[in-house]
Amino acid sequence: MRYSPETQVDRNAASKNSEKPAQNDTTMLLWDRQDCIPLSNILSEDDIIVLLTPVVVPYSRHEDNEKDPFEPLGRALASRHPLVRHVPYTKGSGITRFHFEFIKRAKAVVFVISGPPIDDDVSQVDLADTARLMADERPHIIVACCNLQAHNMHADHFATVVQVMGYSSSELRIAASVIFGDVRLPIANAVPVHNLIHAPQDWVVENCGHDLSPVHQLWTECLPPKYHLPQYQLALLLQRDGFSRHYVVREPDTRQVIGFCATYTTYPDDGQENLLGSLAVLIVKNAYKGRGIGLRLHDHALKQLQRTRGVNRLQLGSAFPRLLYGVPSGFFSIDWFARRGWQMNGDQPGKGLEAVDWVLKFEDMPKKIFSSAGLTFRRCGMVEYHLVLDSVSRDATRKNNLGWYDQYRNLEGTPHVEDIILGLEGDTIVAIALTYIPNSGSPAGNDLPWASTIGGDVGGVTCICILGS
């Protein structure tokens, strides 16, 4: 059954003059890391499949213009399992609560990507990522109707990807056959066994040099688009004299950077004796995974942090500067780190507690400004700055909010003291927050890059202290 949100047809999607016959050599199961194919193996009779497809123009001029181009896929899936809910999505509205209502009732989600974005259109890969997060632990299968690699569309973080070369009826029916195991395709990335056997190698870990262009290239290749940063911004985050140490592994023959690890030390509180050691980022070039490079970097970096005078605590992910707070949700490397002794499922900071950045648009704010419990709010003044700093120190130490004190202390002697917002109950300060505004030179903004990746007009609020709570 097909359910329709507000229709907005993408007329930039490639339309073909004639339908190409589907061929098995153009259909590939790129990978299936969650072992959900054949899908019938994990479905019971009452389970629901949700099929999410883009609203696009027909693939061929021979197709029925009044018909959803992806209806053949829905029918092909339904012929194998009756409970299929076909829900289109539009580039304008994206993946909404309307879709979530279907996803939360589903056993599995099949998400179709028709092609790359045109001009400034939203990327269907990003929309697929939104649906993946909504799906939580449910099997999430991508059907890509284009050559992902040729269009530089990064899909490595998706667990299962089926690729066809278009969305003609015949190609979509082949995709359904692959999903249910009727057509047995070799994994596209599979190689002969003798090619997988590499001679044991003691990878050499080197200190990262000043030229960060190879690191930026590796970063862009290995991480999904939403984590991409301009090279200059990545360099500013990495180059913290006296408080950062980064490492690379190079391919011995070509000297190409194939692995990178970033580490930091920072003061967790207002004390000047103890240091927090952060294993901030660990990435390995896809073609070299599984050969011990990540483990070599991991162990070397931890050993160096443990040897650093004053380091008495280690954290996976960085406090400040905030590269990644931990392993991003849904990454398969979570299990890899768990096997190395990191606690990944706890409910405390640095031990598996999830952190979420919220995005709030001003037009979504309530029209009326409501005062909460008689509180008033104002900017921090220079006279009370050190009183505020002491309050932040006590609150951050008590709640184990590592690195927060430094974010406030970095404002000393600058006009950005006024970036601190105070919440008062009468004359008593009961809440403190730190704001950062785009292009203002805020020290906090320099340590928190992700708001600016959304847009040049996006700022943020961070390190919110509720005193006495």
Q: Where do the domains of the chain lie?
A: 24-179, 196-339, 362-466
Mean pLDDT of 396-419: 92
Question: pLDDT exceeding 70 applies to what percent of the chain?
Answer: 85
Question: In sequence order, what are the residues at sequence separation of 6 or more whose Cβ sits closer than 8 angstroms to the Cβ of residue 381?
Answer: 417, 418
Distance CA 34, CA 27 (A): 19
pLDDT surpasses 70 at 150? yes
CATH of 24-179, one of 3.40.190.10, 3.40.50.1700, 3.40.605.10, 1.10.1760.20: 3.40.50.1700
Closest CA to 22 of 143, 146, 169, 178: 169
Query: pLDDT tens digits, residue range 122-142?
Result: 889 989 988 988 887 789 999
Of residues 173 and 190, the one with the higher pLDDT is: 173
pLDDT surpasses 80 at 351? no
Q: Are 162 and 155 in contact (CB under 8 A)?
A: no
> Would you place residue 217 in the very low, low, confident or very high pLDDT band (cuts 50, 70, 90)?
very high
Domains 24-179 and 196-339 share a fold: no
Handedness of CA 271, 272, 273, 277 (dihedral sign): positive
Highest mean pLDDT among 53-67, 233-247, 277-291, 353-367: 233-247
> Would you place residue 110 in the very low, low, confident or very high pLDDT band (cuts 50, 70, 90)?
very high
Q: pTM above 0.85?
A: no
User: Measured in Å, how far apart are the chain's first and last C-alpha atoms?
Assistant: 50
Distance of CA 416 to the CA centre of its chain: 30
What is the fold of 362-466? Aminopeptidase (3.40.630)
Looking at residue 128, what is its pLDDT?
Answer: 92
CATH code that applies to domain 196-339: 3.40.630.30
Mean pLDDT of 398-422: 92
Looking at residue 191, what is its pLDDT?
Answer: 40
Ramachandran region of residue 390, left (φ > 0), alpha (ψ -120 to 50) or beta? Answer: alpha
> Would you place residue 303 in the very low, low, confident or very high pLDDT band (cuts 50, 70, 90)?
very high
pLDDT surpasses 70 at 195? no
